[in-house]
Structures are given as structure tokens and as C-alpha cells.
Chains A and B, each alone.
Chain A
């Protein structure tokens, strides 16, 4: 019982963090200390320096200020080496002043404004006190944070220099300093991150407790947590991917909701323009790289070795390495959030803005994090390609592989071949931003469009990297639900491979307005239209699978049906874009947003939900609650369409993406460029409400999962009647998953009995019997 106290202490600490989180504010200055100007002189904090701040006439600061009045303050410090040296030497002091409200303005040559803060000029270094002009805000209490350096004047930075910091406050007139202030977007996000992280830690501790309540001590916790941190088992690593992916799914969702609050009404100022830039950057990056890909990797880790009858992935330690790069990279990507200096360049990181010193310092760390993710994807790629190529169970030829495994192979191949280009682009941009190379520096002859090529050569296959596994998942769930083999297995494989192949030829359609040669644009237009052919084949195969089978309506079936509807709609809206003329018209509007959210949320996320309901019993050994699942589906499907369908309309009205607000036309005859019809306001509010409903509906699934873990019915080995290898082993599978390698005898399609010429080339003569 003694050791339990440590846990109680941890829980109390976390609870304290939860309560305190909303009060934290982003630290002024920034993470790199480049521009904070306070402790930079490698000096020590000391009590012998006392900062002061008074009115210009020397009287103390008043308790309250008058709204919008202009004040002049005198401030500085006494004590420390600078005070002793006063009058005898140069370089006596420095300072940095931040006002939480109102506007500071520099007076004279000794002070200057940098990044919203007042600091000294080189000439101001020779002073120990300075003056400043401050325009009061209209309401609310104000804090002045004054940091001073007392310097010994020898011109070099040393420990003999001291610094100190004080905060001076004033209330609004009448002392109404407690007036409610609008929430600061970054504070909200910071708090949300802290909340989610704390909840995650509590969940980890709780899961450990529930595993074995009597062994709830540090001595038994240590090997348990070490087992998770060091595991190379594909199932454990898969679970880690899964947890990380869900965590960032929530983070990305919170960011999206904050943006929707901002856009709910025209001319809103919930988020500043600067914050909005950071938010849409992080939303895209987090959702694609830190949520969707880890979730897919989680399923791939779990299911692929089971489906092909392998004991583990080919390189288990490299697999663990590929995972652990992810959380570290995510910290780098989100670094700037805590200082208000996150990347603000869009998830595409277009040049030359990304290599421009005016962007936030967080962009450098964002690039660094992406470089780590590239490394992670490369390692994962080696692992999955090798595993699928070499570790299929005896009897399983290429054309007997389950479609989910095929989809992972195709998607990993796409990623693997394309991501080095992105990596090299990132390294070039990273070096631009650090040691100042000139790759994307236009004044030195650099070409920003080169970045676009390197990015989209990766970026377009990347889209298919996340959607093709969704195809695989739907093929599995629909075939199992329809209680028959998938219709047209071979055409499904060829269609997936075809989409993967075409994805390398079409990337230019993201750049049709970038001034590419018309000839190239035309080629990209035609090839992009080709994508519809394999996609159409897949849709028809799924329909035919249901038509020939007898459908059982499970939760995963519902999500698969929902996927068919929304993905088809998304595909149709996508067919507008290859056309160069339409593309030019709709470029950068909400129509684009609507399209890719229809395919990424209605496609990828719906398929991932289907996969969760389908494979969760296999992974946890417990059956999920079908009633909650159906409730989740109904709420999410309706609110999802309410969320994204009106965006088509808004886009055609001319609402632009990546703009932090919009304005309405005064009347229907006004033609101010960029204004929207009056109805746009109502539709935006409608979208925001639906966004919240959709976001909250996900909680139903999370609750369902947690309840299932503890209270769910035990799952049999094959709860749905699937027939691939993963249903052969018990739920959850033992470690190692297969004591003896399984052998595949039956195949989905009997016409594989005789190998065709291609298969014959790939099989040595004495192996023919396998077909």
C-alpha cells in the first residue's frame, strides 16, 4: 500500500494540471530565446537588481487607467553591477517590456519595438532608465512584464551581469478589471493539448491498474511500462501507433473546431489572422501525418502479419524505430504552439514563404519534425514491402493475398518511392532556414516552383497512401458482411495498383495555376481524369459484392455503406478539378475544402471507423457495443454531411480557404470583391454547429472502446465470419501469433488453379502446385 501513495501523488498532480491548464498563457518571446531579450546575456538572476516603473513625473503607477488615454511611463532598475557603473561606463543595462494590453510606442532613440515588445536600442544600452508611451485599451486589467539586465559595462557577457523581472499591473477605470475577455485561441489550444495529454497519462495509469489491481505499485509498473516502451512485437507497436493516432486525431479535431468557431460568424475575431495561419497549418499536418498515417500504420502493423500468416514483421526493431520517431517528431511539429510561434506556412509549406525569415520560428521545427516523419515512413516502408514480399505463408501467392494486405503494399510502395523527394525538399528548406543556403531564395536565383514539384511529387501519392488502405478495409468489411468473396478480386488488385501507378503521373493538377507549361498542364489534366477509371471499377465491384451476397448489417457494414456514399460524392466533386478551366476558377476556394474532406473524412476516416469496429474484437478480445456503434454512425453520418456539403456552395460563392474571416455583401447588388451573399453567414453557423456534433460524436466511439475493454463480451476467434488468416488465431492473438506457419489451400477465386504467364515467371517450376 505504501507504493500506492506515489500514484495518488501523480494523480493529484495531474488533476492539479487539469485545473491549472486553462490559466496558462503562451510565453512571450519564443522558444529559441532569439528575440526574448531578457535572460539572453548568459547572466544570472539576482535579487540585488530591482526593476521599477512609474509615471513620467515620478509618481507611482495609478491603480486604474482611463480607457484609450495615452500614458508616458518611466522605468528602469536600481542595484546590480550596472548601477555601480552608472555614469562611468557604457553598456550598463538593457530591458524588455511587454504589455498584456494596449499599445506600447517607442519614445526617442533609446528604445525600439520588436515583435510587439519594447526593447532597448544599442544606444539604449548605455542607460539604466528609459521612457515609453502607452495607449490604454478600452477595458480589462493590464500587466506590464518588465525584464531588466544590469550589466557591468565590460562589453562582454558574463556571470557578473545580473537580471531581474517584475510585473506591474493596472485595472481599468472603476477597477472593473475582471471583465470577461474573449478567449485567446492559442491559450485554448495549449490548454486542450495539456488536457488531452493528461487524460492520456491518466488512461495509461488506469489501464495498468485495471489489468491487475492488486499489483498496483511502482515495482510492477516499471517493467510493464518498460515493456511498452521497448516492445518490438508487431501487435504492441500497432497498439502504440493506434493510441498515438487517436491522440492526434483529437488534437487535430480540436484545432478544426477552433477554426470553425472563428468562421461561425463573419468578421469574427476569436482568432487573430496570425493564429489562424498557424491553426490551418497544424490542422493539416496533424491530421495527415500524425493522425491518419499512424492509424493506418496501426492497423497495418496489427493485421498484415496476421493476414499473411507471418509471425512478425520482417524487421521488428526497425518497426519500433519507425514508431518512436513519430511522437518525437510530433513534439517538434507542435513546438511553436506553446510560444505562439508555430509554423504558419500551410501544410504544403509553399515556398518562398517557408524559407523567408518573416515566418514564425516554429516553421524551422516543423520542417525538422517532417524530416523525422520522412525517416519514419521510409523505415516503415522497408519493413512492410519486405514483409509482404517475403513472409507470406506457404501457398499464398501474390494473387491470394487478402485485399487489405494488397492495399497496404500498394500504399506503402507509393509512399516509399515518393517520400524521398519530399525529404530532400525538406532538407533543402531546413538548410535554407538554418545555415541560409539559397535553394528557394528568389534573390539568389532559387525557384519556389521547384519546391512545389518536389512536394507534390510526394504530396499527391500521399493522398492515395491514405485512401488506398481505406479501399482495402472496405473490401474486407463489405465482403465479410455480404458473406461472399469480393467480386472481381483480380480487377480490385489491378485497380489499386493502377491508382498507385497513376498517382505519380497526375501530381501537376495541384499546380495547374502555378504557371506550368500548357503542354504539361494538358497531360496532367488527361492523366488525372484516368484516376476515375480504376476508382469506378472499385465502386462497381463493391456494389456487385453486395448485390451477389446477403448483407448483414453490423456497425462496420454501416460505415462501409456510408463510405460508399460519401466517397463517391467526393469522387464526383473531384472530377471538376482536372479540367484546367474549372480548376482555375475554383482554385483555393471552399469547393476544394469540401472535395478533399469528402474523400479524406468520408473516405479515410469512415473506413478507419469501419476498421475499428471490425478489428477491435480481434485486437482486444472483446466485442464492442453494436447499439452505441449504430448511434455513433447515425449521428456522425448526418452531421458529417451537414458539415461538409454546404462548403461546396460556399466555395462556388467565392469563399476562400486559408483566410481567417469573410465579409458579407451589403445587398445583393453590391459587388465588392471577396464578399459573400448574406446566406453565407447562416450556412457557416450551420457548418460550425455540425462540426461540433461530428466532433463530439467521436466521443461515443471512444467511450464505447473504453467500456468494451473492461466490460465487453469475450470475442470468439472469428466473430464476423471472415476467412483470412487473422480470424484463424484466438482474439486477442497469442505471441507469437502462429506456432506453426499456416498454409493457404483454398483461394478466393478458383480460376487461379493454373498460373498465367506472369505468375509462371514468378514461381519456380517445383512450386507450381501452390497454385
Chain B
């Protein structure tokens, strides 16, 4: 650092040079309105909030998307709560079919808002890319910082779910221990049927409790229900790879734009397929179960691992014939909501990928605008990373 005395004007000049060097001055203020364009008195361009948007003038000044999506979310939550209501004894729900269509109406409104948002975004080609000016982020894309900030909040979402899990996992007596102790809690009190205790999901998934068939690979027995989860783990990891390949390809200058668009689209589509596969296998694991040859591997529902099961006949390990009737609702709720929240994140990713694949198909990603894929990739890697934590904690432990 220099100790030279610098005048105020000198500083101004240096700063301006600095800005030019960093290309920040390229990010001009909104250009003077063209006389022939449809702008109103206060210099607003594009009063049309429905899109498509002309990004030459900077970010959209008007958009119907926010208000429409908000309304949709409101309708969805309202009608969801009208459709399902817990019953008097708090062990099941009352289903009102009359409000169910409104749930889908809510979805439709949210989708309409999203379509408006995307329509405005479609023309974004990277020429309007706001850059940071404040230390220590100078010349970094503002969107990138925003995505990292968002991931900070996502981190807290999953931390809270893990807090719930840790609280209940460590604070609830394990059913296996109770069974081992001849139907008594570790404090000596007797266990009565229907009492709550902890049955980890891994008991159904990674354990070999069920009479059904166990997949054998090269002599190593693999519990049947673990198969979807294991496949899913690899599906997500591969999808992280394909999204990186999409970014890498979009940045390549050594091919024609048609060729590049096609490749980018294919990589994004592959990511999409893997993500959908993840959710499909999740449904198989939760609700459907699967057949290989003559054998049927039961789903978690068939196993009795449901949020409403108050009397599950727990046989445990090493107690031939002995069993206790346990209330495993809490174990199930914790498992399904934690992994379900992760699934919801995958679903959100699928929604985004659908649009991005379409945009890639239209040739929307080139070396100038490839960053959009990078920022989606940040989110996608995060979702992947969370699965790497969720999988051992909920499926194996």
C-alpha cells in the first residue's frame, strides 16, 4: 500500500479507471428511453408485465408473476388445509373430497405465474448480467452471491430437520432395546402395547427383518428395500456430473451454436431424467414396492411403516417369535417429512430443469449466459450433498 497523499479528484479518477478495468461501467444505467418505444412518463419501459422481456433495457420493471404465484400459493395452502383435517383422536385425517380440485387449481395458478416469469426470462442472453461493486465481491455476478446466500438458508432448513431427528432419535427409547430388556424400558417401567418407541427407518430399509426375498449380489446379501435408495444415491451423483457437463459444454467456443445447444440440451435432459428417476424410485420405495422375478419386495407402506400406524408388531432382531406392539408414528413422521423435504427440493429442481432444458433447446445458453446453469448447479449440488447426509442418517443408521 502507498502512503502517498491523494486528492479527492484523484480518488474519483482512480475509482473510475478501476471500474472501467473491471468492466463495471459496461453495466450502464438504464439507457435513455427510445422515443418510439412504449414507455410512460417516469421512464418505465415495458409496462407489459406478461413478457417476453427485452433485456436490452435491464431487468424487468413490471411482472405479473409475483402476484399470481403468491395467490396460487395461498389457494394451494388454503385448499390443502380444507381437504385434509386431523380427526378427533389425532391418529388419521378426515378427507373432504370437495376441496381437492382447489388444490390443483392452486397448482395451476402457481404454474401460470411461473410461466410468466420464464417468459420474461427466456430472452436473457447474458448481456445484462449485473456485477457486484462492493468489497469483497467486486466483479462477481450478483446472482452468484444471491444463490450462495440462498443456500445458507437452505442449510438451516435441513439443520432444523436434523435437529428434530436428533431430538427424537436420541430422546426416544429404541424398540429394540425394550424388546431386548423383556418388554421393559431402561428405567424399569413396563412397556404396554401401543406405547411409542423408536423404530428407525433403517430397520425396514437396511435390516433383513422381513420374510421376503433378499437380493444377493456376488454372494453379499443386500436388503431388498435398500435397492431404490442405493440406486437413487448414484442417480443424484451422476446428475450432479451431467449438470456440470452441461455448464462445461455451454462454455465451449469450439463448436457451432446449433451443435452446442443440442449438447447442452441433452445434458440438461439427462439431469432431468435422473431427477425424475429419483422421485419415481422414492415412490416405489414408499408406496409401491417392486417385483423381481417371483419375488416381491414390499414398500414401506406394506411393511407398516406409516405415519398413522399405532400398533406395529415389532419383532426386532434375535427374538424368534417374540414381538411387541409399538406406536411408530413419530419415527415414520420424522423419516417421511425429512426425506420428503429433500424430495420436494428435487421436485423444485425438476421444475427448474424443465424450463432450462427448454431454453437450451431454443439455444438460450451460450458462453455468455452459461452462468445460469452454474447457479442452478450450485443448488443441485447442494441437494445432492444433503442426500449424502440424509441417506446414511435415515436409511442406514
Contacts and interface: CB of A to CB of B under 8 A. Distances in A.
Contacts of B134: 308, 388-392, 396
Interface string A420-451: 11011101101111111111010111110010
B160 A323 contact: no
B85 A232 contact: no
B156 interface: yes
A320 interface: yes
Interface string A391-413: 11111111000000000000000
Nearest to B196: A445
B310 interface: yes
B236 interface: no
Given A32-B96, A324-B70, A325-B70, A361 B85 contact: yes
B133 A390 contact: yes
Interface in B255-272: none
A233 interface: yes
A444 B310 contact: yes
A368 interface: yes
B329 A232 contact: no
A728 to B, nearest CB: 15
Interface in A742-764: 743, 745, 754-755, 762-764
11 contacts: A226-B62, A230-B62, A321-B70, A389-B134, A391-B133, A416-B152, A419-B156, A420-B159, A431-B333, A445-B330, A768-B2
B15 A434 contact: no
B319 interface: no
A324 B96 CA distance: 29
A390 B63 contact: no
B307 A381 contact: no
Given A232-B61, A357-B90, A762-B135, A394 B18 contact: yes
B153 A314 contact: no
Contact of B96 (A34, A327, A453): A34
A324 B67 CA distance: 5
Interface stretch (A67-75, A328-336, A529-537, A610-618): A328-336
User: Which 10 A-B pairs have CB atoms at the shortest separation, nearest pair first?
Assistant: A445-B196, A390-B132, A392-B134, A230-B49, A420-B156, A328-B74, A437-B333, A368-B77, A424-B160, A438-B329
Interface in A350-378: 355-357, 361, 364-365, 368-369, 371-372, 375, 378
Given A33-B98, A386-B145, A736-B30, A431 B337 contact: yes
B153 A311 contact: no
A229 B78 CA distance: 22
B212 interface: no
Given A229-B67, A317-B63, 6 more contacts: A314-B142, A317-B59, A390-B145, A391-B132, A391-B133, A430-B81
Nearest to A437: B333
Interface in B65-95: 65-67, 69-71, 73-74, 77-78, 80-88, 90-94
Contact of B80 (A315, A316, A434): A434
A227 interface: yes
A321 B307 contact: no
Contacts of A316: 59-61
Interface in B99-150: 99, 117, 120, 130, 132-138, 140, 142-143, 145-146, 149-150
B42 interface: yes
Interface string A501-534: 0000000000000000000000000000000000
B81 A365 contact: yes
Contact of A231 (B29, B61, B120): B61
A259 to B, nearest CB: 27
With a 10 A CB-CB cut-off, give which of B133, B152, B336 has the most chain A CB atoms.
Answer: B133
A738 B150 contact: no
Interface string A604-634: 0000000000000000000000000000000
Contacts of B153: 378, 381-382, 416-417, 419-420
Contacts of B30: 311, 736
Interface of A: 31-34, 42, 223, 226-227, 229-233, 308, 311-312, 314-317, 320-321, 323-325, 327-329, 331-332, 335, 355-357, 361, 364-365, 368-369, 371-372, 375, 378, 381-383, 385-386, 388-398, 416-421, 423-425, 427-428, 430-439, 441, 443-447, 450, 453-454, 734-736, 738-741, 743, 745, 754-755, 762-770
B74 A329 contact: yes
A223 B133 CA distance: 35
B88 A315 contact: no
Contacts of A741: 133
B157 interface: yes
Nearest to A358: B88
Given A391-B134, A745-B11, A443 B96 contact: no
A743 B15 contact: yes
Contacts of B198: 445
B168 interface: yes
Interface in B160-216: 160-161, 163-164, 167-168, 171-172, 196-198
With a 10 A CB-CB cut-off, give which of A226, A335, A435, A766 has the most chain B CB atoms.
Answer: A435
Given A386-B145, A389-B145, A439 B164 contact: yes
Contact of A391 (B92, B94, B142, B167): B142
Contact of B6 (A381, A425, A738, A769): A769
B8 interface: yes
Contacts of B160: 420-421, 423-425, 454
Contact of B86 (A357, A398, A445): A357
Contacts of A390: 132-134, 137, 140, 142, 145
A335 B80 contact: no
A766 B149 CA distance: 27
Given A321-B70, A390-B137, A223 B91 contact: no
B2 to A, nearest CB: 8
A321 B65 contact: yes
Contacts of B62: 226-227, 230-232
Nearest to B161: A424
A444 B164 CA distance: 15
B138 A438 contact: no
Contacts of A444: 91, 196, 310, 327, 329-330
A417 to B, nearest CB: 6
B120 to A, nearest CB: 8
A434 B82 CA distance: 8
A227 B330 contact: no
B217 interface: no
B165 to A, nearest CB: 11
Contact of B77 (A227, A312, A332): A332
A157 to B, nearest CB: 10
A709 B47 CA distance: 25
B393 to A, nearest CB: 16
A357 B49 contact: no
A462 B93 CA distance: 33
A736 B78 CA distance: 38
Contact of B70 (A328, A365, A443, A739): A328
